[in-house]
Structure 1
Amino acid sequence: MNRMPNDRPPPSQTMRVGAAILGNALEFYDFTVYAAFATWLAKAFFPAANPSTSLLLAVATFGVGFVVRPLGGILIGAYADRFGRRPAMTLTIWLMALGSGMIGLLPTYEQIGVLAPILLVFARLLQGFSAGGEMGPATTYLLESAPPHRKAFFGSWQLASQNMGSVISALVGLLLALLITPGATDSWGWRVPFLLGILIAPVGYYIRRNLDETMDAEEAHGSIGGVLSDVLANHWQKILLCILLISGATITQYFFLYTATYAINTLHYDQSWSMAASLAIAVSGMVFSLVGGALADKYGVKVIAVVPRLIVTLLLYPALHLVISSGSPLVLLIVAASLMAIHAMSSGAGIILIPMIFPSAVRTSGLSIAYALGVTIFGGTAQIVFTWIIAATGDKLSWVWYVIIMSVLSALATLAIRVPEMRRSEPQEAKPAAALAGASS
């Protein structure tokens, strides 16, 4: 790739990466805002005599969004390897906005009965399909846009932009807590963050429509079926290891996303403190994901993916014990943000390790399939498992052991992954989308 004298990316490259980051942040805002407002969705769509039952149904519906993530990852990932990263990222934008808009506009259970939760499930399925397809093309685009010596830093923007979406979600929740009464939030305020998510379509499409393409059309398979046949037949061992790598990371990530629900329902803190904690966690994750990427470029991707993972695993139980024994929401905020910083460094490096081990022709598919399956199996069930463990044991700390065990497994899988050297000719100079379309037609 052409370099400027100071070896910094040219402005056009920076704009391309910025477009991928912002679009990804908006996508994950739409998908994760559900977790922050699970308590209110439970009341609106799953009224029950026992609040724990109502909440369990709501977080189960959050998990429904993960059911179709592998399908989105498989189909949109293969589409991106066949026709390009840009059209795949544009498609996911529209699907996510549709799902978010549905949730914001749906009548409640009180208004239309059982049809309300059924439609909510359908909206989550749309969001899940989109989220499953978004991550692979966006991450691959970041990797293929990066200078050879800054691949991990560029790739770490994937997780940073996910946390950016959580920052937006937490800010919206905090503003609602400060500006309107709890009764108003119960009545109509919970709809606001989902209605804001509709903006993802025009904004996302605008910032992505002029992206240049990074896929090498000469290496692309002739069909989507060819892509899937190659990745599943020749790279399934890599996919299995990557699923295990993702397991501990995604469970820990949803451990942090669960903070707002945990603070309100288990620790009985008020809404403003729980949203403030979510905001602090998201900001910490956004910043330290990039720190992890920068350190990975300097010390090695596997080193930074494993060492912080083991540190946060050792600290989880004593840190949560401190939170509960203190009874202070401020302690919750500080401890959670600190743990998130260590976790984010590991995940910022780990997320880029996956596409680096796949060849260009199946890079998006390999990443998409492994990530979608890992997040579906482990992330999609995390909040259900957390809620069930706490309810079954009556122990506010019991759920932490699940996070610890899976984090250890994740570190072992990371150590087992062999990282080949990517050819220095990759990525090639980004190609105009029109030229790529002509080559692949």
Structure 2
Amino acid sequence: MMTDTRINFQRLIKERAWTTLKTELTKLDVPDITYLIEHSNQLHSIILFRLLPGEEAKEVFRELHPDKQGEIINGLAHHASRLSDLMNNMDPDDRTALFEELPGKIAQQLMQLLSTENLKKTTQLLGYPEESIGRLMTPQYVAVKLHFTVAETLQHIRRFGKESETLDIVYVVDQHWKLLDDLPIRDILLADPDEKIEDLIDHKLVVLNAFDDQETAVQIFKDYNRVALPVVDSTNTLLGIVTIDDIFDVAEEEDTEDFHKFGAMQNAVINPVLATVSFLYKKRVGWLLVLVFMNVFSGYAMSQFENVIETVVALVFFLPLLIDSGGNAGSQSATLMIRALAIGDVRRQDWIRLLSKELAVSLLLGITMAAGVSLIATWRAPDIIPVVALTMLATVMVGSMIGMLLPLIFTRMKLDPATASAPMITTISDIMGVLIYFSMAKWFFGL
């Protein structure tokens, strides 16, 4: 459906039917407009964006990929007033994220278009370390003092709340802007108008530090089920807030990064459609070359059992099935472990209990799969049933152990557990599978 819509808009642009184009554009919601611009060429993207009203343009621009944002900015370079409005009307955290992605020269030019107040906010946010909560926070919130009555607080919210990122939470500060507590707007609305704020607070406060890693914020939001959290410095001065929508974005980026690492594509861009061939090549070739050299060990291991293979040729038929089963079991185990580590369900000190549980599970899996491969061997080569059955049991258990332990080992070494990627686990499991299989056959047949 969106493909047909895109073709229709391309036709309207070519026909220069600007009035019709603008009318049709207003019928679409923000996600559809974003998709349309993302999948249009630079000229068409700029035309479509320029036809959007101010508020809608702001929302669409925020959702665009940084590369497409750069195209829009370049296209608006000769329209300083429109570009200035766009930059100054963006939320501070979104504007900071944009400037981080742009080349330094372009970012510097755009910063010259900002108002004095917005420039101060942006440079302050950019001063925090990359991936820190300080880069994520927004200074747009509502804060009140202890001596405010509920009536005064509501009047204060009406006056200053329009620019706030969220009105669900109101923050309580002292005369020096030290954070004292936060109050849900529900508590304020249900309180007596003459009641004071100091009578409503309970001092059950959860805060984020501006220099903490963004992943810390993700975990705290999960633990405390909040829609927004205050950000403070080392002196407990309120600097800004982080809202749940920003946390969703960070969590999605982290999950995608872990997925890329698990598939041996560490640091790959989120959108491969916009990545260049050379970029994707460089991100993948190094890891694959490492695996090539690791797989040499599999070939070397097989060469040590040439006499076994020549004597019992039927062993070769089951080799791919057995070693793939071990690798698959390891990948399954690793996927579960990496996810559990990422969301905090598993800690490093749990490894002994996990090991015993994984041994029990892998034993049951191995027995089940050994029974399956035995049925196949009954048809193909009945004389090697004990060998393939025992090998299947052993490779599934070994593969599962590798898949469970590698993420824990990487965590212990203070490395990202997602680095224990599927190809690495599969390759190690393959080597172990070859050694187990032919050693078992050599022992069984007395060769």
TM-score bin (small chain): under 0.3
Larger Rg: 2
Q: Which has the higher strand share?
A: 2
More helix by share: 1
Using CA pairs below 8 Å that are at least 6 residues apart, which structure has the higher relative contact order?
Answer: 1
